[in-house]
Structure 1
Amino acid sequence: MPLGALRPTPLVQQATDRLREQITAGEWPVGTKLPGETSLAQILGVGRSTVREALRALAGAGLVRARQGSGVFVIATEPEETWSTQLRRAAVVDVYEVRVLLEVEAAQLAALRRTGEDLTAIEAALAGRRAASSGGDAEFVDADIALHTAVVAAAHNPVLTALFTEFVPALRQGLIDLVELLGPRGDEPGHGEAGHTALVEAIARGDAGAAGSTLRAELHGTLAQLRAARG
């Protein structure tokens, strides 16, 4: 598989992809020392800085490792699977089970840490969810996620916020699919209204125990539907 010169742009991505192809195809087996930056730059028709960035990206993917004074060596032929990739490939039930663990704790922290500004945002999100209950499925799911996002933000823990943000894409599509499949809002246009209102009220009065138990019950109800839908 000859390398060949690259097209003008985007050079770093093209260089990374071309080198990755060589590695994953077995052209450079594990333990192989890669050609030097100058040689790779000449082969690919790019500058050494572009090659350097491409090698850094490959190192980040767990494919190569630089050994000081020796060069860059292949250490794997398959890239490491990132957290985001794992979430995209995970079953929505598995994602949701972890969501329960994360959000219940976030709700309890929100009850203890929320500010007046947080509470205003949470109440506005609850109103938005209520308004969206008569709209389309995607609109309702987005409004529901917006409320949960506001609760997580009120916990004031950047790690929890970052984790929840990673979960949102997988959760969103899974919930839209569930709503379309089961139509849980058919007999109850404001599906989950009572539970979500109770959650907001618990956070407003600073009752961490009630906030956690209320959200746990709400999420477990949806989780049971997801499991049933999966069969």
Structure 2
Amino acid sequence: MSQVQRHPLAAQTAEVLLRRIRAGEWALGHKLPGETTLAAQLGVGRSTLREAIRELAGKGVLESRQGAGVFVTALDVVEDWDTVLRRADIITVIEARIAIEAEAAALAARRRTPADLRALWRALTARAEAGTSIEALVDADTAFHRTVIAAAHNDILTQMFDAFVPRIRHAMVDMLRIRPMADERADHHAHEVLVDAIRSRDPEAAATASRVHLNALRSAFEN
């Protein structure tokens, strides 16, 4: 059984608890042993244990419920989006975009309002008129895709997309400088197909259009 041997005790205790949770000793939703028992197992005082539990509660791993005990609410510490995205390679980010945007496109086809549709046509036109500047094209393309996400009327999806934007923008600009778009008209047509599917309230066609376009983007980075 893991025991704490070094200071600072509270941080070390939190780390031991986290290791035991990662190892599967306590499942998600499981109640930890009582404070006295757990403190004895770890070889620390109850005040140190309470401080360690507060630390893990602040990271979303544990939750203290008044009169009920301490429960496991996550099996590991979740890193913030910025940290995750900084470490992720561009292909991984595009794969995540496919998962998010294909579903968002389907939701947009079901939920879009007349105002959403007008915004989509404006974004599509702005994309077509972005000119020869690579930066302007990337920004117009990003704005278009965000308009699709907004039409899904799901704030979580919008926030997730916004987290991706800084990570994807620089890579897109760099790629287009090295490898200009082979067929701009075909690329723009792919976006028109997506808008038309959303206009027609066809979730399956919208999801497919989004997935096909982003898979082509992924292939461009892989080749």
The verdict on a shared fold, with TM-score over 0.5 as the criterion, is yes
Instruction: After superposition, give the CA deviation of every residue in 1:182-212 in whole Å (9 maximum; x if it has no partner).
Output: 112xx53446111000110110111111111
Shift of 1:117: 0.8
Question: Are residues 1:145 and 2:123 paired?
Answer: no
Q: 1:207 to 1:137 in 2, by over 3 A?
A: same
Unpaired runs of 5+ in structure 1? Answer: 1-27, 34-66
Q: What is the rounded CA distance, in whole Å, between the counterparts of 1:176 and 1:214 in structure 2? A: 23
Corresponding position of 1:220: 215
4+ aligned runs moved over 4 Å, structure 1:
67-76
Q: Write the mapping of 1:1-231 to structure 2, written as runs, cut at 5 A.
A: 29-31=7-9, 81-132=79-130, 134-184=131-181, 187-190=182-185, 192-228=187-223
**Most deviating of 219-228 and 81-90:** 81-90
Shift of 1:80: 7.0
Shift of 1:180: 1.2
Instruction: After superposition, give the CA deviation of every residue in 1:50-75 in whole Å (9 maximum; x if it has no partner).
Output: xxxxxxxxxxxxxxxxx996685697
Q: What is the rounded CA distance, in whole Å, between the counterparts of 2:173 and 2:128 in structure 1? A: 17
Instruction: After superposition, give the CA deviation of every residue in 1:140-197 in whole Å (9 maximum; x if it has no partner).
Output: 001001000000010011111111111111111121121112112xx53446111000
Letter in 1 for 2:102: V
Letter in 2 for 1:183: P
Q: What is the rounded CA distance, in whole Å, between the counterparts of 2:169 and 2:132 in structure 1? A: 16
Unpaired runs of 5+ in structure 2? Answer: 1-5, 12-44, 57-76
Q: Is the 8 A contact 1:92 1:171 kept in 2?
A: yes
Shift of 1:135: 2.4
Q: 1:151 to 1:75 in 2, by over 3 A?
A: closer
Task: Return the TM-score normalized by structure 1.
Answer: 0.64
Q: What is the rounded CA distance, in whole Å, between the counterparts of 1:122 and 1:226 in structure 2? A: 26
Q: 1:75 to 1:226 in 2, by over 3 A?
A: same
